[in-house]
Structure 1
Amino acid sequence: MIVSETKLKGCFILEPKVFNDSRGYFLESFNQKTFKEKTGVTINFVQDNESLSSRGVLRGLHFQKGDFAQAKLVRAVKGSVLDIVVDIRKDSLTFGEHVAVELSEENKKQLFVPRGFAHGFVVLSETALFSYKCDNFYNKASEGGIIYNDKNLNIDWKLNESEFIISEKDLVLPTLEMAKI
């Protein structure tokens, strides 16, 4: 597995070794021991989530606060997404900065999103099956979010805004400046 740290400390891109043959492929999507050796991060995932979305669906930017903050390992099992993470750790040198990574069934890349980050993605392919491993259980009372088009974040979502399909809940999220982090 190749592990590369992004410009946001603690946020890593993982590229698993893929074994292809006439039957298809095999890959190890996560190995706790290897992950710790390559990142220095000890993680214990307790919840797996999955979403199926069509082209233009934009989910995010979401986060969990306090005792229910979550680190995530995300990947596109089918299709392709542009995955976005925003550093919302107020004491971080990269507070308010973001990273965008295309995750797809072709490139098999995964993104490790540490606690203290907002996360979202937009579907670039006709459909996408998206998988999340989380190190903490979801708690509705602890959820928060940031509006996808916050002018200060200046995120390029790679699609025309007229293509976006966004939930009513995500359309009324606050800017980073107004968010309760």
Structure 2
Amino acid sequence: MKFTETKIKGCWLLEPTVFGDARGYFMESFNEQTFQQGTGQAVHFVQDNQSYSTKGVLRGLHYQCGEHAQAKLVRVLNGEVLDVAVDIRPESETYGQYVAEILSGENQKQLFIPRGFAHGFVVLSETATFFYKCDNFYNKASEGGIIYNDAALHIDWQLNDQELLVSEKDAVLPTLANAKKVW
């Protein structure tokens, strides 16, 4: 597994070693020891989530606050998404900045998003199955969110507004300036 820290400290791109032949492929998608050695992060994942979406579906930007904050390890099982993580740690030098990575079933890349980040993705392929591990349990009362098109963030979602399918809940999220503080 190859580990590359992104431009935002603590956020890592993981590229597994894939062993392929005429029958298909094998890869180790997660190993706690390898992960901790590669990232320097002692994270214990407790919940796995999976979603299926069609082209243009934008989910996010979401996070959990306070003691319920979550680190996530995200990947795509099939299809392709643009995955976005926004640094919302108030004390961070990169507060308000984001990383965006293409994750797909073909490239097998994963993104580790530490606690203190808002997260979202948009489906670029006809369909996509998105999978992620969380290091803390979901808590509805601790939900936070930021509107996907916040002008202060300047996120290029790689699709035009007419192609985006956003839930009613996500369409009315506040801007970063008005969002609930992560801690």
Q: TM-score normalised to the size of structure 1?
A: 0.99
Q: List structure 1 segments (4+ residues) > 3 angstroms apart after TM superposition.
A: none
Deviation (angstroms), 1:97: 0.2
Aligned to 2:67: 67
CA distance in 2, matches of 1:58, 1:21: 35
Quote the residue 1:104 is aligned against: 104
Number of aligned positions between the proteins = 181
Unpaired segments ≥5 residues, structure 2: none
* Separation (CA, whole Å) in 2 of partners of 1:169 and 1:87: 21
Q: Give 2:77's aligned residue.
A: 77
**Amino acid paired to 1:68:** H
Aligned ranges for residues 8-27 of structure 1 at < 5 Å?
Answer: 8-27=8-27
1:113 paired with 2:108, answer no
1:152 and 2:152 are equivalent in the alignment:
yes
Amino acid at match of 2:150: D
Distance 2:98 2:40 in 1: 22
Match of 1:142, as an amino acid? S
Q: Offset of 1:160 from its aligned partner? A: 1.0
**Other structure's SS at 1:14 match:** strand
Q: Deviation per CA, 1:82-126: give whole Å up to 9, x if none.
A: 000000000000000001000001110000000000000000000
Q: Distance in 2 between matches of 1:43 and 1:35?
A: 9
Aligned to 1:123: 123
Match of 2:28?
28
Query: So what's the TM-score if we normalise by structure 2?
Result: 0.98
Query: Quick one: which amino acid aligns to residue 180 of structure 2?
Result: K
**1:45 is matched with which residue?**
45
Alignment partner of 2:9: what SS? coil
Structure 2 counterpart of 1:46, which letter? V
Percent of matched pairs sharing the same residue: 67
CA distance in 1 between partners of 2:161 and 2:103 (Å): 20
Distance in 2 of aligned mates of 1:23 and 1:7: 37
Distance in 1 between residues matched to 2:23 and 2:133, nearest whole Å: 27
